[in-house]
A and B are shown apart, each in its own frame.
Chain A
Amino acid sequence: MARIHIDESLPYALEFDDVRLTMTRRRRRRGQGRADRLRRLAQDTRKVTEEVFTGLSLTVEPGEAVALIPRDRRSMTVEFIRLAAGTLIPDHGHVHRRDLVIPILRRAGLVNARLTVRQNIFVVGILLGMSPEEINERMDWIVTTAGLGKALDGYARACPPELRRRIVWTTSMAAQARAYATQGSLIVGDEAFREVGWAHVEKLREDGVTFLVAGQNARVLERFCTRALVLGEGGIVFDGTVSAALDLVGRASVQEDDDEEPEQDVDLLDGDRDEWRAD
């Protein structure tokens, strides 16, 4: 009943087989009539069903670092990554994967201020499919890499957002996946930590780990990726080298994701109550 199927005999790291997906989104009401204005005032939204992918088929070889570049709508890459990681199920078709595809995290909001840092590492690690034993084993590595030091057994509320970001990022790296997917979080943190991050991901890429990278600026993509996919019109409009893809969509339009949602205490355990909707 698990939603993520792993097929170790697959020759590819990832295979999309005629994937179709529609998403329902909420849009604010437009229009100038009295009814529309009132509804807008009441924060009424209407539901729109959008076709995101119409028959997407592709394969990704093990060890490739694929840049995902949206042509018209940014959220397409989010859905692509969620399909790859298996946190979205396509309406039609299948996504086959040889290994777990682990999302790289960076949101400081994933850290629960009311737990200790160690407990947070456990919660995030378990969400990413690690067993408690594995987390314990890799705890030292996480502590050294993220530079936690004494903060490990203190409450996370004492950690600045910068440190929280490092915690979740390092924990996802500790998952030691053979495939990673990221929306804007290939590299996180301040200058010093970015150096560490770069060294780590480049080492992983050389070791044959597969990457799906989205939401980064053109410089990062050119430095890191070996292949680019431009997403649009319900599928792939371009598949080739990174520089050619960047020329196609325009370098300036490829931006790094804004780093963080407004600071707020989010509770991974209680669930967040905000009315967040993809728009």
Chain B
Amino acid sequence: MLLARRDLSQKYRRLRLGYLWAILEPLGMSVTMWFVFEILLGGRDLGQQPYYLFLTVAILPWWWFTSGIAASTKALVGFSRTLPVSVLPTQFSVVRVLVTRTFDFIFSLPLIVLAMLVTWTFPGVSVGLFLLAFLIQLVLMYGLSLLVASISALVPDFARIVRIVLRAAFYLTPVLYSVALLPEGARSVASLNPLAGILTLYRVGWWPEEHVSMTGYAVSIGTALVCLIAGVITFRRLEHRILKEA
């Protein structure tokens, strides 16, 4: 935890706007997307209304996910000085990266409040599911981070693959659009994406009609657990090789 706090203060110390950057980055992204899809392409039924809020609620978790996984590719690389001397468990390096990104995400949450005020739309009670979505995503990301970090420590090419996959995943994941508004056939395919269920849980507090079926949630929770187990096992298996590389 302490190391993660140091990471955060390091990350923002030299910037004039400091912690505001945790907000400004996703804010820029969501405003751009809203401008392109709502204003320029105008009135297409991509998602629920108000579209700006709809976008913001999903783009923050997405940003957390993609930046966290991308950062984990470097979590165990380039620590040739610390790994040989550290008596901390090796996976702490991965946890540290994840904790840093998670705090970034939490700091950026006021953006949702801002979007709510701008659009004057407020959620119902089921907004409590936001917390559940957060927890599922955390488990999913921990598993994936371990997996990604350990493999990319040994195979540098893997980091590039991850980057490409993440970029593709942005379009495959209902950030810009809503699963509920897809045609019937496409909907079942889209629910197979573990992030689809998570994003629905984030959004359902504002738009109860986002809830389509339980399958999406089951897929999300199932994938999160599978990733956790796979991550832990892979990490254990590769740990001695990672240490040798250090």
Contacts and interface: CB of A to CB of B under 8 A. Distances in A.
A and B interact physically: yes
Interface of A: 1-4, 23-24, 82, 85-91, 100, 102-103, 105, 107, 109-110, 114-115, 119, 122-123, 126-129, 132, 266, 268-274, 276
Contacts of B79: 271-272
Nearest to B79: A271
Given A87-B84, A271-B82, 17 more contacts: A1-B89, A1-B91, A1-B236, A2-B89, A4-B87, A24-B244, A87-B83, A89-B240, A115-B6, A115-B10, A126-B88, A128-B85, A269-B7, A270-B10, A271-B77, A273-B78, A276-B80
Given A88-B240, A89-B240, A271-B79, A127 B86 contact: yes
A103 B85 contact: yes
Contacts of A272: 78-81
Contacts of A132: 2
A252 to B, nearest CB: 28
A115 B14 CA distance: 12
Contacts of B6: 115, 119, 122-123, 269
Interface residues of B, number: 29
Interface of B is mostly: loop
A133 to B, nearest CB: 11
Interface of B: 2-3, 6-7, 10, 74, 77-91, 232, 235-236, 239-240, 243-244, 246
Nearest to A168: B85
Contacts of A129: 87-88
B81 A1 contact: no
Contact of A126 (B3, B7, B91): B3
**Residue among B87, B90, B244 with the highest chain A CB neighbour number at 10 A:** B87
A103 B74 CA distance: 25
Contacts of A23: 244
Contact of A123 (B3, B78, B87): B3
B78 A271 contact: yes
B81 A100 contact: no
A4 B92 CA distance: 13
